Structure 1
Amino acid sequence: MSTILVTGGTGTLGRLVTERLRAGGHEVRVLSRHAQPYAVDLRAGGPGLDAAVAGVDTIVHCASAPRGDEQAAAHLVAAARKAGVPHLLYISIVGVDAVPLGYYRSKLAVEKLVGESGLGWTIVRATQFHDLVVRLLDGLSKVPVLLLPAGVSDQPVEVSEVADRLVELAVGAPAGRVEDMGGPEVRTFPSLARAYLRATGKRRPLVGVRLAGKAYRGMRAGGHLTPEHAVGKGTFEEYLARRF
């Protein structure tokens, strides 16, 4: 069996990837800022990162943050090159090249770093996880009226299914940019919000709000959706039933 390093291995996705890889008999190293013995801040790099990547067969790069992703990826790529890591697998987001959000631009820049790293690499993009939609709606529902971006849909996907896909890719050969992974349904935000309100027992009127900016226009145009790759099985209602 192989030795695999999972960055962000204590996070929502990375934890599931780690569990599945270990269940499959692989030796897994978990890298995060607080996970011993590989407690490393990728944004800073350093000798701890060199020790984490030494001798691994594959790196699954799940670590991400609102700021510093490019710097973190540059450090990771440099350490992987130095160690001669055969395979670097990166999880990105559908729409990073179509929706000009700052975070998406950063993810696209990381894709470029990985693709130009000189390493064997794989990149897969997924749509947003169910829990992110719920966190967004939790925040929006704190006021008496639930304000939603008018004309925007989403295609949430079950995080455990994305973890399964990453495990499949991690134990395989480098494959370059593979097909996107989207949730089973493209849903309007009012539809998602009504399902959330039913599940939580909250009552809120829904009001669509037109926003300004290129990012909003990109989302209205569906740049963050991949209906042609609606391969996910778990629905938003199924997720809500488990959570609430």
Structure 2
Amino acid sequence: MSAVPADGPAGGALFDDLRGRRVFITGAGSGIGLAVAQRFADHGAVVGATVLPGDEAGRAALAEVGGDVHVLDADVTDAEQVEAAVATFVEAAGGAVEVLVSNAGIGQSAPFLELTNADWERMLKVHVGGAVNTTRAVLPGMLEAGWGRVLYTASELVTIGFENLTHYCAAKGALASMTRALAREVGPSGITVNCVAPGPTMTPMFVKSEAENNDAYRNTIPMRTFGDPDNVAWTWLFLATDAGRWYTGQMVAPNGGVAM
């Protein structure tokens, strides 16, 4: 992945305050997570980027990002692994996590009646349980500092749904509700909580989905194109800046008009 100009699409001033920020990103080995890691690194943040243990392709991709990036192994469903990864990053970065991007996720397409209890458990455990584990690991440091940004990755499907993705939509919907509740709880402590709900974006997970990745679906999008991870990644950056300080409890949706 090639680096972008340091001033970004709207001039350097907007993202200047990201320089030196300690940012922890889960699911950073590909797709949106990798693009977000790239953007933060390009703008001078100190990035902790997690991949699943054994994900050598993810490690290799992050090695190309450049900047101050610390690649860490962690399965977000395992609280101990998450806590260990956060602790390692905090020691290396010289301070507590200031921005959390809880992005790790999985996909699966199947009719509702074919989904097993194990399918539901896994989907919820990764998306919701993973967000809980990472938030628990970083929130004490934010509360102590009186400042923080918590960012979850949701989906435009929260508002429109999609056939054969019932458990995925339910998991992402839970994140949107968690966003609003936690935002009310920690707002008085100087911490904002938001989720980003991208539309159909050309990630490896999306590309594998024949139900979504096809011309018929693309032509229903007002912009007539699928999203690009490098473009939608700017949303996470904006919400992490001082300019985004009045956004909390929100679901911000770069989606090409899929959901309005």
What is the TM-score normalised by the length of structure 2? 0.59
Q: Which residue matches 1:128? A: 200
Letter in 1 for 2:176: E
**What displacement does 1:52 show?**
5.4
Question: How much is the aligned-residue C-alpha RMSD, in angstroms?
Answer: 3.1
Relative to structure 1, the CA distance from residue 135 to residue 33 in structure 2 (aligned partners, 3 Å threshold; closer, same or farther) is closer
Gaps (5+ residues) in structure 2?
1-19, 54-58, 60-69, 91-95, 108-122, 187-191
User: In the aligned structure 2, how far is the partner of 1:125 from the partner of 1:138?
Assistant: 19
Task: Please state if 1:87 is matched with 2:128.
Answer: no
Identical counterparts, % of pairs: 15
Q: Which residue matches 1:241? A: none
Report if the CA contact (8 A) 2:206-2:213 is conserved.
no
Q: Which residue matches 2:106? A: 65
User: In the aligned structure 1, how far is the partner of 2:75 from the partner of 2:246?
Assistant: 26
Relative to structure 1, the CA distance from residue 78 to residue 161 in structure 2 (aligned partners, 3 Å threshold; closer, same or farther) is same
User: In the aligned structure 2, how far is the partner of 1:42 from the partner of 1:52?
Assistant: 15
Q: Which residue matches 2:167? A: 102
Q: Which residue matches 1:158? A: 228
What is the TM-score normalised by the length of structure 1? 0.62
Relative to structure 1, the CA distance from residue 134 to residue 140 in structure 2 (aligned partners, 3 Å threshold; closer, same or farther) is closer
Letter in 1 for 2:181: E
SS in structure 2 of the partner of residue 126 of structure 1 = coil
Q: Select between 49-58 and 161-170 the one with higher mean Cα deviation.
A: 49-58
User: In the aligned structure 2, how far is the partner of 1:3 from the partner of 1:138?
Assistant: 38
**What displacement does 1:73 show?**
1.3
User: In the aligned structure 2, how far is the partner of 1:84 from the partner of 1:12?
Assistant: 27
**What displacement does 1:91 show?**
2.2
Number of aligned residue pairs: give it: 180
CA radius of gyration, larger in:
1
User: In the aligned structure 1, how far is the partner of 2:22 from the partner of 2:246?
Assistant: 15
Larger strand fraction of residues: 1
Larger helix fraction of residues: 2
Q: Which residue matches 1:8? A: 27
User: In the aligned structure 2, how far is the partner of 1:139 from the partner of 1:178?
Assistant: 22
**What displacement does 1:57 show?**
0.9
Q: Which residue matches 2:84? A: 48
**What displacement does 1:23 show?**
1.3
User: In the aligned structure 1, how far is the partner of 2:71 from the partner of 2:157?
Assistant: 35
**What displacement does 1:174 show?**
6.2
User: In the aligned structure 2, how far is the partner of 1:72 from the partner of 1:89?
Assistant: 13
Gaps (5+ residues) in structure 1?
185-224, 229-244
**What displacement does 1:22 show?**
1.1
**What displacement does 1:63 show?**
1.1
SS in structure 2 of the partner of residue 96 of structure 1 = helix
**What displacement does 1:49 show?**
4.2
Relative to structure 1, the CA distance from residue 12 to residue 134 in structure 2 (aligned partners, 3 Å threshold; closer, same or farther) is closer
